[in-house]
Chain A
Amino acid sequence: MTQVLRCEGLRKAFGDLQAVEDISFTIDRGETYGLLGPNGAGKTTSISMVAGLLHPDAGEIVVAGERMHPRATTAKAAVGLVPQEVAIYPDLSARENLRFFGRLYALRQRQLDARVDAILEVIGLSDRGDDRAGEYSGGMKRRLNIGIGLLHEPQLLILDEPTVGVDPQSRNAILESVEALATDGLAVLYTTHYMEEAERLCDRIAIVDKGRVAAEGTRRELVATIGEQDLVRLDVAGDAPQAAVALRQLHDLGSVDVEDHAVVCLLHGAAQRLPTLLGAVAEVGVSVTGVEVREPDLEDVFLHLTGAALRD
């Protein structure tokens, strides 16, 4: 596999705030790599450095064999950026938006015309290409936002939470587009705080928390960090923290966390040990209103690693 991106030991601080503490990862051609973490984890700062918008305080970024920094034009030409915010000119049409950004990437006239037509086709805006972008629906704007990032045929596409604030239908269309791009050999760096998006799209995922990579691997590998344990969720009507204290007294429980009015435990052989768990909770006078036993997902991995939910 050809390595398209290598980040090593990235650090970035804004005054006293250490936004990125130590982040390293690589992405190969045709691979979709996810940065999964809650808001403020350091995802956007990381991709800003990868895109050459910010200079890291320490560490190195290499894109398509070229060192990335804010003045690195060759490295920047290999990157397509799709910012989290829809970054288009509402008073220009989709075609005019695409043509403008194509010129910034030095696309020549004939090539530019061909690419603009091709991208309008890909993002499904061929019929509305000459309409003012400001008149588009939210989903159409999002698609144009992605189309601009793809226009110059980059080797690495950076998508910063592209589905935030998007209706379910448009969201699904965006996810399908990203899946197709990776199939075409594009390296994709995808940041999200939606666990299900990361699970669906990403070949490998880095769980980012407080500016650090807490864990990295495929979905299977990450779930395996919890061990072959089951997840038990007990919805309680009383004092959840008190119930958690009671459960922590039991042996062989991987972790016990409180989540709103529920206690979430990781343990082996949940089916056999469930009566013990219920008994322990009942002993401290807390009643259980619901029980769920299932295989852990990335959300649970995140909770296990950081002690906090992704949505926090």
Chain B
Amino acid sequence: MRAASAILGKDLRLRLRDRSMLLFAVVIPLGLTVLFSFVFPDAEDIELTGTVVDEDGGEVASGFVDGVLPTLVDDGLLTLVDVDDAQDARRQVEDGDLDAAWIVPDGFSRAVTAGEAAELEVLVAAGAGIAGEVARGVADAFATELEQVTLAVAVDAQARGGAPSPQRIEALAAASQERSDVIAVEDLVTGGEDQLDNMSYLAAGMASFFVFFVVSTGVIGLLEERSQGTMPRLLAAPIPPGAIQLGKSLGSLIVGLASMTVLAFASSLLLGADWGHPLGVAMLIVAIVLAAMGVMALVGTFARTVEQAGNFQSIVAVVLGLFGGVFFPIPGEGWLIDVATAASPHGWFLQGLSELVASGEVAAAVPATLAILAVAVVTAVPAFVLQRRGLA
């Protein structure tokens, strides 16, 4: 332990003098959190100023104009502005006075009820950003609803053995209108309720992403000792080879925990992030740091040089981070993405925090913590054995 603590002390001293460590551990993750929070704002931060021009005036158009859009207005997401006509709407969007405009052309309702192709026009101002995406999303979601209604009408007609009556079509359309609240802008942006808010998600994602780079210094440290010629000196000293591994690992653990803790506090105090119950957060942080150490250690054992290790580790950290959804949530469609997401400690970490925030109970973080620890064990054990062989 004496030798391990000497190696730990030396490594920490070197890391503290290395300003890039401070950048990776605190400055960059915090900076990117702030940056991404502007790119991906919270649903409640979205303000869309738009207009709708109903040139159709039919039942289906009314479903959109009087059913869907008012719910967005009521939620405070949309400010509807009156315009003279479609041409005026187009001009205001082009001028940037409006973020978006929906134009329901003449004949829209008739085409829909006849089962023909119908077009709902969405105009989005250049530079509208997320507001423009929301405008498109609202139209897409309404179109999907209409397709479902059309399908229902067709099935209904076939079941009843003839063309549906106008009353029947109206009834189905009305049912659709009542269900228009399924078009939730929040879903378009964050993926549902009981999630971390945007700032917390980004802060936790960035912290978990960069901690993989922060702890990798321990593994790279072994290669650095070799490349700068000090490894023979360490091996010639009257210390067990395990002390070198222990000292390096403790260094990674301390730096990783410090980085995550500082980011959790800093993002909470400075950016208003909420990571959830502190005990649950602590469990998840310890787990993700251990997993990061295991993964990076295993990847590093396949490298011969510091540069090679850095490259391998960067690739793995980025891939795992992407599949874990540290930059944006992954839709999770397809078995390959499902498997990759399940194997990503980042994904489990963010899921654990989400469940922690949603339930408010520490126990909610236990499944994710165990999943992350499983990744830590599965990677750390072979890494330890391979490293030991290299030191023998």
Contacts and interface: CB of A to CB of B under 8 A. Distances in A.
Please determine whether chains A and B interact with each other in the same assembly: yes
B389 interface: no
Contact of B238 (A83, A92, A105): A105
A81 B233 contact: yes
Nearest to A81: B236
A89 B14 contact: yes
Nearest to B231: A87
Interface in B222-239: 228-230, 232-239
A73 B2 CA distance: 14
A111 to B, nearest CB: 14
Given A83-B232, A87-B232, A103-B6, A76 B17 contact: no
Contact of B236 (A79, A88, A91, A106): A79
Contacts of A79: 236
A92 B12 CA distance: 12
Contacts, number: 70
Q: Name the 9 nearest CB pairs between A and B, nearest first.
A: A85-B229, A73-B238, A103-B6, A104-B237, A76-B238, A87-B229, A77-B238, A81-B236, A51-B236
B237 A70 contact: no
A202 to B, nearest CB: 22
Interface of A: 48, 51-53, 70-71, 73-74, 76-77, 79, 81, 83, 85-92, 96, 100-101, 103-106, 148
Given A91-B18, A96-B13, A148 B233 contact: yes
Interface string B1-20: 01100110110011001100
Contact of B237 (A88, A91, A92, A105): A105
Given A76-B236, A103-B6, 19 more contacts: A51-B232, A52-B235, A73-B239, A76-B238, A77-B238, A81-B233, A83-B233, A85-B229, A87-B230, A87-B232, A87-B233, A89-B228, A89-B230, A103-B2, A103-B3, A105-B237, A105-B238, A106-B2, A148-B233
28 contacts: A51-B232, A51-B236, A52-B235, A53-B235, A70-B235, A71-B240, A71-B241, A73-B238, A73-B239, A76-B238, A77-B238, A81-B232, A81-B236, A83-B232, A87-B232, A87-B233, A88-B228, A89-B230, A90-B228, A92-B10, A92-B13, A100-B9, A100-B10, A101-B233, A103-B6, A104-B237, A104-B239, A148-B233
A83 B235 contact: no
A86 B233 CA distance: 10
Of B3, B18, B235, most buried by chain A (CB within 10 Å of CB) is B235
Given A73-B238, A77-B238, A91 B233 contact: no
Contact of A104 (B3, B17, B232, B392): B3
Nearest to A52: B236
B241 A70 contact: yes
A30 to B, nearest CB: 22
B228 A87 contact: yes
Of A104, A106, A148, most buried by chain B (CB within 10 Å of CB) is A104
A89 B233 CA distance: 11
B11 to A, nearest CB: 10
A87 B231 CA distance: 8
A105 B9 CA distance: 15
B232 A89 contact: no
A249 B237 CA distance: 57
A53 B232 contact: yes
B238 A106 contact: yes
A207 B172 CA distance: 101
Given A83-B233, A87-B233, A148-B233, A92 B6 contact: no
B101 to A, nearest CB: 61
Contacts of A91: 14, 17-18
A104 B234 contact: yes
A24 to B, nearest CB: 22
Contacts of B10: 89, 92, 96, 100
Contacts of A148: 233
Contact of B230 (A48, A88, A106): A88
Contacts of A73: 238-240
A148 B232 CA distance: 13
Nearest to B15: A91
Contacts of A100: 6, 9-10
Nearest to B235: A53
Contacts of A71: 240-241
B290 to A, nearest CB: 27
Contacts of B238: 73-74, 76-77, 104-106
Nearest to A102: B6
Nearest to B224: A89
Interface in B1-44: 2-3, 6-7, 9-10, 13-14, 17-18
